[in-house]
Amino acid sequence: MKEWKLIIEPKPLRGSLNMAVDEFLFQSLTGEPLTFVRFYQWERPTASMGRSQKIEKVIDLDFCQRNGIDVVRRITGGKLVLHHQEITYSVCSSDDETFSKTLAGSYKLISQALMAGLKKMGIEPSSADQAPPFYAKSDLPCFSHPAHDEIEVNGKKIIGSAQKRTGTKFLQHGSIPLAHDEDLLKAVSLLKEGPAEIRMTSLSEVLGWTVDFGWAVERLVEGFEEFFGVRFGPLKFMSADREKILEIQRQKYANNDWTLRGQVKE
Query: How remote is the C-alpha of 123 from its chain's centroid?
Result: 20
Q: Which amino acid is at 46?
A: T
Query: Are 61 and 150 spatial neighbours (Cβ–Cβ below 8 Å)?
Result: no
Give yes or no: 64 in active site.
Answer: no
CA distance 157 to 147: 9
Query: Are 76 and 130 spatial neighbours (Cβ–Cβ below 8 Å)?
Result: no
Query: Are 233 and 3 spatial neighbours (Cβ–Cβ below 8 Å)?
Result: yes
CA distance 11 to 39: 11
For 251, which DSSP code? I
The catalytically annotated residue of 25, 142, 203, 220 is 142
Longest dimension (CA), the chain: 52
Sequence-ordered list of residues with C-beta below 8 angstroms from that of 24, at least 6 positions apart, any chain: 241, 244, 245, 248
Q: Which amino acid is at 80?
A: L
Catalytic residues, by residue number, are 142
